[in-house]
């Protein structure tokens, strides 16, 4: 889980950096989202789970002028082998495991100012 958290944190940082680096025109939101999610499929440890990472850009237009902030948020529904589903001496480690479907949403967000 910690490895996957590091992977999505790095994806958020890389996508934000791409979106704020001075270039004309600035990259569109779709390009920034593609950067954030592009390598995640091969880098995340999924344990066969069906979770799909997603990314959002705020503002949705991306950078328009220098000095304005750009935020990229990456989320991933992590499904581990035993997140909360273990039982020790008849007592569940996490009584909400059945309710949460043994999943935990990992989120990473990065904000930088447009150059």
Structure confidence by residue, pLDDT tens digits, 5-64: 999 999 999 999 999 997 888 999 999 999 999 878 788 887 666 678 999 999 999 998
- Decide: 15 and 72 in contact? Cβ < 8 Å: yes
Q: Report how far residue 67's alpha carbon sits from residue 71's, in angstroms, rounded to the nearest whole number.
A: 13
Phi and psi, residue 97, nearest 5°:
-60, -45
- Split into its structural domains, the chain has a count of 1
Confidence bin at 104 (pLDDT 50/70/90): confident
pLDDT of residue 113: 96
Tokens 């954030």 belong to residue: 36
pLDDT digits (tens, 9 = 90+) for 27-39: 999 999 999 998 7
Structural domain boundaries, residue 29: 2-113
Question: What phi-psi label fits residue 8: left (phi over 0), alpha (psi between -120 and 50 degrees) or beta?
Answer: alpha
CB 87 within 8 A of CB 93: yes
């Amino acid at each position: 889980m910690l490895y996957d958290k590091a992977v999505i944190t790095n994806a958020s940082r890389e996508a934000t950096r791409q979106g704020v680096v001075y270039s004309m025109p600035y990259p569109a939101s779709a390009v920034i989202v593609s950067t954030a999610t592009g390598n995640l499929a091969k880098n995340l440890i999924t344990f066969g789970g069906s979770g799909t990472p997603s990314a959002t850009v705020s503002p949705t237009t991306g950078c328009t002028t220098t000095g304005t902030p750009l935020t990229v948020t990456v989320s991933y529904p992590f499904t581990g082998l035993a997140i909360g589903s273990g039982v020790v001496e008849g007592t569940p480690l996490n009584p909400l495991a059945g309710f949460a479907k043994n999943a935990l949403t990992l989120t990473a967000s990065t904000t930088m100012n447009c150059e």
